Amino acid sequence: MSANLDPDAALMLRVREGDRSAFETLVEKYKQPVVNLVARVTGDFTEAEDIAQHVFVQVYKSAHRYEVTAKFSTWLFTIARNLSLNEIRRRSRHRADSLDETFADDDEHTIRQPADTHSAGPTETLLQGELEEKVEEAIADLPEKQRTALLMCRHEEFSYEEIARVVGCSLSATKSLIHRARETLKERLKPYLHSGAWREE
Amino acid sequence: MKDVRNDELIRLSMKPELSPEEEARLEKILRGEPDAHAAWDEERALSRALQSLPDVPLSNNFTSRVMQEIDLEEARDQRMRHSHGGWFRGFWPRLSWGTAALVLGLVGMHEYSVSKRTQLANDVALVSKDAAKLPSAEVLQDFDAINQLRQVSMTSDDDLLIALQ
């Protein structure tokens, strides 16, 4: 085994040999990022955990198809995106809406966020909660590819090349998706961005 | 140029902490362009907002539920493999019926082919009888020339008649 092998790829090689504990390690590492992505891509925080569960089951069943040359996280998030799209399509069939849906102006699909845990405490906490809600709404209003690319981009671990592979676009198209998404959010959230609410810690 | 700068600003804005080299690169960008400061502030604020989004709540037993689901699916696959074994027990009767159907089909095709050939032979015999009544080849050799004479224009005959009168 190459010394330069991605640690996750090394774990997947063990999973291919039937090592379930290696798979549990991968699940523990990626369960939160996967649920976060699924919830915000589908706009359904309630079902996100079930869908994320299916993602990992699919990963396990497809372990024999995993190619070591590919970064595991790219492969994992491609599956996560595909299952999220399936869920969006399934809901669309029931409503006969378009696939490239956003979730605005629709009471049935108002973002089902986790229960508001902000108690009536300090003003800053309330403001932070309101700002987070505005960000969630703005993200939900983006077209799916922009939404997915932006969500994957918000943390450093994914390069633009990896994001391009997950959303199925060229590198330049992916950069364009991210730029457009960020421009839309900056415009939408201008009052909040300038409020200094997201101060450097 | 602006796209490259924006790319760089976005990338830097997403980092929780900048290395000395990255700080230097940022300084260079901000010094070089007057509107870069405003752009940097916006990108930084947006990146912070995106990174501050809370994690979606997740069950404590998520991993064990995933492994349970895998076990259930593997058990389901095992049951299906066994039922395919049951299918295999009915394989020989299915093969027999399939073979019989194939043989009947081939026999049917053969019979059809024979009957077509018989029909063709009868038709040839019928034509052969009538062929005996046809004129000989010597008579038919000038057929084309005689046929063309019949197609001579009637206009030239009228002119001849008028001329003779």
Please report residues of B whose CB lies closer than 8 A to that of A156: 14-15
Compare A160 and B153 and report the one with higher pLDDT.
A160
In a domain, A201, yes or no: no
Compare A195 and A19 and report the one with higher pLDDT.
A19
Q: What is the pLDDT of residue B80?
A: 84
Q: Does B73 touch chain A (CB under 8 A)?
A: yes
pTM, 2 dp: 0.69
- A174-184 core/surface letters (b: 16 or more CB in 10 A; e: else): bbebbbbbbeb
Compare A178 and B12 and report the one with higher pLDDT.
A178
Q: In this complex, do B14 and A153 lie within 8 Å of one another by their Cβ atoms? A: yes
In a domain, A200, yes or no: no
3-state helix, strand, coil split of chain A in percent (to 5) is 65, 0, 30
Q: In this complex, do B46 and A36 lie within 8 Å of one another by their Cβ atoms? A: no
* Contact between residue A107 and residue A43 where contact means Cβ atoms under 8 Å apart: no
Distance of CA A49 to the CA centre of its chain: 12
In a domain, B78, yes or no: no
Give tens-digit pLDDT for A18-73. Answer: 999 999 999 999 999 999 999 999 999 999 999 999 999 999 999 988 888 778 99
- Asked whether residue B164 carries a pLDDT value surpassing 80, the answer given is no
3-state helix, strand, coil split of chain B in percent (to 5) is 80, 0, 20
Average pLDDT over residues A118-144: 80
In a domain, B115, yes or no: no
CA pair distance A183, A181, nearest whole angstrom: 6
Among all residues of chain A, which has the CA nearest to that of B65?
A53
Phi, psi of A68 (to 5 degrees): -60, -25
Among all residues of chain B, which has the CA nearest to that of A132?
B53
- Asked whether residue A200 carries a pLDDT value surpassing 50, the answer given is no
Q: Quick one: which of A25, A135, A146 has its CA closest to A81?
A: A146
In a domain, B64, yes or no: no
* Contact between residue B48 and residue A187 where contact means Cβ atoms under 8 Å apart: no
CA pair distance A154, A169, nearest whole angstrom: 18
Please report residues of B whose CB lies closer than 8 A to that of A155: 14, 51
Q: What is the pLDDT of residue A58?
A: 96
Q: Does B50 touch chain A (CB under 8 A)?
A: yes
Domain containing B43: what range?
Answer: 2-51
In chain B, what's the furthest Cα-to-Cα distance?
125
Number of helices (H), then strands (E), in chain B: 8, 0
Average pLDDT over residues A172-188: 95
Share of chain B above pLDDT 70, in %: 84
Angle at B64 (CA atoms; ends B59, B68), nearest 5 degrees: 120
Tell me the three state secondary structure of residue A45: coil
* Contact between residue A160 and residue A104 where contact means Cβ atoms under 8 Å apart: no
Q: Quick one: which of B69, B5, B84, B73 has its CA closest to B40?
A: B5
CA dihedral B71, B75, B78, B79 (to 10 degrees): -160
Helix (H) or strand (E) holding B128: helix B91-131
Please report residues of B whose CB lies closer than 8 A to that of A132: 52-54
Average pLDDT over residues A148-176: 92
* Contact between residue B63 and residue A54 where contact means Cβ atoms under 8 Å apart: no
* Contact between residue A9 and residue A22 where contact means Cβ atoms under 8 Å apart: no
Spell out the residues 6+ positions from residue A84 whose beta carbon is closer than 8 angstroms to its own.
Answer: A37, A38, A41, A42, A51, A148
Domain containing A51: what range?
Answer: 7-193
In a domain, A106, yes or no: yes
In a domain, A129, yes or no: yes
Q: Does B124 touch chain A (CB under 8 A)?
A: no
In a domain, B20, yes or no: yes
Q: In this complex, do A48 and B54 lie within 8 Å of one another by their Cβ atoms? A: no
- What CATH number did the domain enclosing A157 receive? 1.10.1740.10
Tell me the shortest Cα–Cα distance from B30 to chain A, in angstroms: 18
CA pair distance B88, B113, nearest whole angstrom: 37
Q: In this complex, do A57 and B66 lie within 8 Å of one another by their Cβ atoms? A: yes
Q: In this complex, do A198 and B59 lie within 8 Å of one another by their Cβ atoms? A: no
Q: Which two tokens stand for residue A170?
A: 């060229």
Of A49, A60, A150, the CB nearest to B62: A49
What is the band of A136 on the pLDDT scale with cuts at 50, 70, 90?
very high
Q: Which two tokens stand for residue B144?
A: 């084309």
Of A27, A54, A199, the CB nearest to B63: A27
In a domain, A199, yes or no: no
Tell me the shortest Cα–Cα distance from B99 to chain A, in angstroms: 38
Give tens-digit pLDDT for A67-124. Answer: 887 789 999 999 999 999 999 999 888 776 555 555 544 444 444 454 444 444 567 6
In a domain, A20, yes or no: yes
Q: What is the pLDDT of residue B91?
A: 72
Question: How many structural domains compose chain A?
Answer: 1
In a domain, B84, yes or no: no
* Contact between residue A31 and residue B63 where contact means Cβ atoms under 8 Å apart: yes
Question: How many structural domains compose chain B?
Answer: 1
- Asked whether residue B137 carries a pLDDT value surpassing 80, the answer given is no
Please report residues of B whose CB lies closer than 8 A to that of A197: 49
Q: What is the pLDDT of residue A83?
A: 97
- Asked whether residue A9 carries a pLDDT value surpassing 60, the answer given is yes
Q: What is the pLDDT of residue A68?
A: 81
- On average, the pLDDT of chain B sits at 82
Q: In this complex, do A193 and B54 lie within 8 Å of one another by their Cβ atoms? A: no
Lowest mean pLDDT among B57-61, B86-90, B123-127: B86-90
